[in-house]
Structure 1
Amino acid sequence: MTQSPVRGHALVTGASSGIGAAIAREYAARGMPLVLVARRAERLQALAAELSARVECVVIAADLADPATPARLFEATTSRGLFISTLVNNAGYGVPGRYLSADWKTHADFIQVLMTSVAELTHRYLPAMEAAGHGRILNVASLAGLVPATAGHTLYGATKLWLVRFSESLDLEMKKHGVHVTAVCPGMTYTEFHDVNGMREKVSQLPKGIWLTSAEVAKLAVDAVEAGRPRLITGRTNRLLAALSKYLPDHLASALISSRSKDFRDAD
């Protein structure tokens, strides 16, 4: 088994499918032992069985919508004597439709998973990285956080913009301690995300050239955090969209995104 040049384990949330599973596979290919976290224990066990020939895999089934989960995760890894040298905050999903189409508990769970748990897990695992003088934190954000807002999925872009800013600020604080923090901002990626939020039929009509596979995103993301890049936008088309959003007048950029938002957002 190839030994990783990076000390410790990589803890990946949302590892049961999509980009999270792809990032786990990418780290396993680089010889890094893993802590796999998600709600679906069966899928985690299947992924661990796939990767255990290469690296050690610890499986922890947990729901990050539960506010007690980050502390339990930290205790579970600490009690095993594991040093989490890489933290991948990937767990996430979308809440389709208008803001008022879902009850507050749905939105509160969403904020807990995509924001609060990220902040808490980072706060808990960061001190050991700082003390060791080495660490990597990879936060899976989205192109949605870098382009103008659209109707529907109201909290999604807002949380992803928060994640980008959080990552950039933390990277500035921690780089002198040997800790790299990166926000990866994928655009359209072949995963189960659009099946879960009911948008598969609509997004399947988008041009094939704007899509990347989850494996492609994972490799780019891991390369970026190892290189110390605080932000990565995956794909040439996505970088163009982000640039247009930044440099076009606000009203033009907003009109451009809003005119096509029905292709990837459900606002009904």
Structure 2
Amino acid sequence: MTDPRGHALVTGASSGIGEAIAREYARRGVPLVLTARRTDRLEALAAGLRVRVPVHVLPADLADPDAPARLVDAIAALGVPVRILVNNAGYGVPGRYLRSDWNTHAAFLQVMVGAVCELTWRLLPSIRDSGAGRILNVASFAALVPSADGQTLYAPVKAFMVKFSESLALENADAGVHATALCPGFTWSEFHDVTGTRAMMSKLPRWLWLEAADVARAGIDGVERGEVVVVPGAVYRALRVATRLMPERFLLRRMAKNSARIRSTE
């Protein structure tokens, strides 16, 4: 049965965790609005999902500061209410801070922070009005541990998404809104191909890797239960507990030792 209360907007839906979240919502009967830069990938995904639910495709490049407003206007023109917002769009900028020019960092911050905040602000009235609103912010396990060499902006923006979710959950509980930060560890996707770190990441043991479909289910189940922070996978939940018990100085030394092995830091 198609959920009559409103659509789910999934950003970065063309691959990886975003695509998996779109598929899982479709399986649960939630109609969708999908956005990402790659129109062909979105259309192919939508074609397969339309056998289950209505799906609208609205391509957008969230690195453009005007894109969030245009996207929300396009949704309004369709006449479909949004009750679920999935802020998933994102990527990594490999290497240390000075390796990239400022325009590269500015575009990254626009996608990872500016667009997240603006889309949430613009859609929050509709989400609150639904009576069963949900905001799922795809963060990272990197937000919960000391940052690594070569994660100068990535880990901080993911930590922001955790704190943002916490505040949204408190502020909007009166309207039945659940806000959740999904914090997966290493997940099979195109992420490391795009950043050019696939060869290094492939050196990690297989037991550290999560499947995108499992991450999607964990996030959606968690936001439905009203969990504010969701860490998928027993390994990562254990690591989270362990890192809370370890001295900060020890963790920073471990990060310094491991960063060069798995990341492009120059």
Pick one of 89, 92, 95 that aligns with 1:91.
89
Deviation at 1:169, TM superposition (A): 1.2
Of 112, 115, 119, the residue aligned with 1:114 is 112
CA deviations on 1:188-228 (whole Å, 9 max, x unpaired) are 10000000001111111111111111001001110001111
CA distance in 2, matches of 1:169, 1:244: 26
From 78, 81, 96, the equivalent of 2:79 is 81
- The offset of 1:81, in angstroms, is 1.1
* Unpaired segments ≥5 residues, structure 2: none
Hey, what does 1:259 align to over in structure 2?
A: 257
Which residue of structure 2 aligns with residue 3 of structure 1? Answer: 2
Greater strand share, 1 or 2? 1
Runs of 4+ in 1 over 3 A off after TM superposition: none
Alpha-carbon contact 1:147-1:241 (below 8 Å) kept: no
- 1:199 aligns with 197
> Which has the larger displacement, 105-114 or 73-82?
73-82
Q: 2:247 aligns with which of 238, 246, 249?
A: 249
CA distance in 2, matches of 1:261, 1:213: 23
Q: Is 1:206–1:263's contact at 8 Å kept on the other side of the alignment?
A: no
Inter-partner Cα distance in structure 2 for 1:106 and 1:259 = 27
Q: Deviations over 1:163-209 (max 9, x none)?
A: 00100111011112100000000001000000000111111111111
2-structure distance, mates of 1:148, 1:245: 9
> CA RMSD for the aligned pairs?
1.1
Contact 1:62 1:69 in 2 (8 A): yes
Q: CA deviation at 1:11?
A: 0.4
Q: Pick from 211, 214, 237: which aligns with 1:213?
A: 211
Q: Could you tell me how far apart the structure 2 residues matched to 1:174 and 1:262 are?
A: 42
Query: How big is the shift at 1:60?
Result: 0.6
Following the alignment from structure 1 to structure 2, what is the Cα–Cα distance between the partners of residues 241 and 52?
Answer: 39
Q: How many equivalent residue pairs?
A: 266
The equivalent of 2:155 in structure 1 is 157
CA distance in 1: counterparts of 2:77 and 2:208, whole angstroms = 44
2:233 to 232, 235, 256: 235
> Which amino acid in the other structure matches residue 191 of structure 1?
S
Matched residues, percent identical?
53
Alpha-carbon separation, structure 2, partners of 1:76 and 1:37: 11
Q: Deviations over 1:228-264 (max 9, x none)?
A: 1000011122122222332211101211233222343
Give the match's secondary structure for 1:85.
strand
**Letter paired with 1:70:** P
Name the residue aligned to 1:176: 174
Which residue of the partner structure matches residue 47 of structure 2? 49
Name the amino acid aligned to 1:3: T
Whole-angstrom distance in 2 between the partners of 1:184 and 1:59 = 24
> Quick one: distance in 1 between partners of 2:211 and 2:262?
17
The amino acid that maps onto 2:87 is N
For 1:65, the equivalent position in structure 2 comes to 63
User: What is the alpha-carbon distance in structure 1 between the residues aligned to residue 262 and residue 154 of structure 2?
Assistant: 12
Deviation sequence 1:66-89 (CA, Å, 0-9, x none):
000110011001111111000000
TM-score by length of structure 1 reads: 0.97
